[in-house]
Amino acid sequence: MKTIGKLLFISSLALTASCGSGNKWHLEGRIDGLGENDLVVLEGNNQGYWYPMDTIEIKGNGSFSYSRDAQGYPDIYRLRIGEKSLYFPIDSIETLKITAQAPDIDTNHSLSGTPQAANLEHVDSLLRAETASGNVQSVTSNADLKRELGKMILADPAGIVPYYIISKRVGGQPLFNPAVKEDLRIIGAVANAFNEQRPSDPRTTYLRNLFISNRPKSGKVNEENVAYANEVRAFDINLFDNEGKKHSLLDLTSKGNVVILNFTAYTAEDSPAFNVMLNNVYQKYHQQGLEIFQVAFDSDEYAWKQTAKNLPWITVLNGAADGDKALRDYNVGSLPAVFIFDRNGDVVERVTDMSTLDSSVARRL
């Protein structure tokens, strides 16, 4: 796979797992303003209960470096100093960079190193901005905020940041309340994604039970809920193909087809072989309603056009001027990356094993 860090204009999003470091994840960075007796505690979570796992040694200049064995599934951890906590996601064996200012590490910090870290920090910044007015209770009823967070969730429902969002409590109230129809649909999307893609994750049973126990007993679909579902689709991508025509991802997914969203780079060494595999699936299922929306991250536009003009599906270019928003929205840390939208226009799977792509598409058609 071609690491994003090899693409010059998005190098800041590169996954930084180091070779030879073993099956560990790493923290490094700096915490300024610590008092002589301040203790930096690493804590883990067990379905709402936070427990101490270790202490982080901070050097005299505020810098620190820490590593820990990966546990086999993504999770949310936090650093706590006194009553203030800083939350961060760990997916596998990446290196996460943290800078913070004590004592207010909850509001005065930055995370970098992975797309998940950037997205979690974005979530917390949205919530801090909304609670700055002092009306904490308004957060859980802010339609615009919930819509933005809903899009983040539906872009990658099996991700650790979506789990963080639906588990978040503000002012003692759940940010996404299972007693609210619209919120329950979002919770259901996460529960279904975890059930399909993370069956051995210890949170999967909890999510499934949370959804089922709050699901309407009649099983009827509420029109109001359907309207909300159509409104809170995943993030759109609007880019141009090799002939200068603009394409919208969400327009394509709203037409009742199964859609493969693929982030790729044609200059990658394995790109030709990957496109051959993709073409095999496309030719097999296109007549049954399969479409492909392929986003290429290539700095050489001419070379991209030469490849794009020979491909039978929609392929658009995300150039340097387009930035890295699409990658951040979909938590993409390496290329190629593949997502599947079902006929309802929902992201239902992030394909990590390309040998399963054919079967994953087949069961959606």
pLDDT in tens, 220-232: 444 444 334 444 5
Residue 238 above 70 pLDDT?
A: yes
Q: Say how many C-beta atoms besides its own lie within 10 A of residue 109's C-beta.
A: 21
Instruction: Give the three-class secondary structure for 240.
Output: strand
Q: Please report the domains of the chain, with CATH numbers, ordered by start residue.
A: 17-112 (2.60.40), 136-231 (no CATH), 238-362 (3.40.30.10)
Cα first-last separation, the chain: 28
Residue 216 above 80 pLDDT?
A: no
Residue-wise pLDDT for 120-151, tens only, equals 999 999 898 888 776 777 788 888 888 889 88
Return the pLDDT at 172: 82
The mean per-residue pLDDT over the stretch 101-117 comes to 92
Q: Say how many C-beta atoms besides its own lie within 10 A of residue 327's C-beta.
A: 23
Non-local (6+) Cβ contacts of 76 within 8 A are 45, 87, 88, 89, 90, 120, 160, 163, 164
CA distance linking residue 218 with residue 23, whole number of Å:
47
* Stated pTM of the model: 0.65
Residue 4 above 70 pLDDT?
A: no
* 304 contacts 317 by C-beta, under 8 angstroms: yes
* 197 contacts 159 by C-beta, under 8 angstroms: no
Q: Which of 224, 251, 246 is nearest to 345 (CA)?
A: 251
* Percent of the chain's residues with pLDDT above 70: 88
The mean per-residue pLDDT over the stretch 72-82 comes to 91
DSSP β-bridge partners for residue 337: 263
Return the pLDDT at 54: 95
The mean per-residue pLDDT over the stretch 260-264 comes to 96
Residue 12 above 60 pLDDT?
A: no
Residue 21 above 50 pLDDT?
A: no
CA distance linking residue 266 with residue 247, whole number of Å:
19
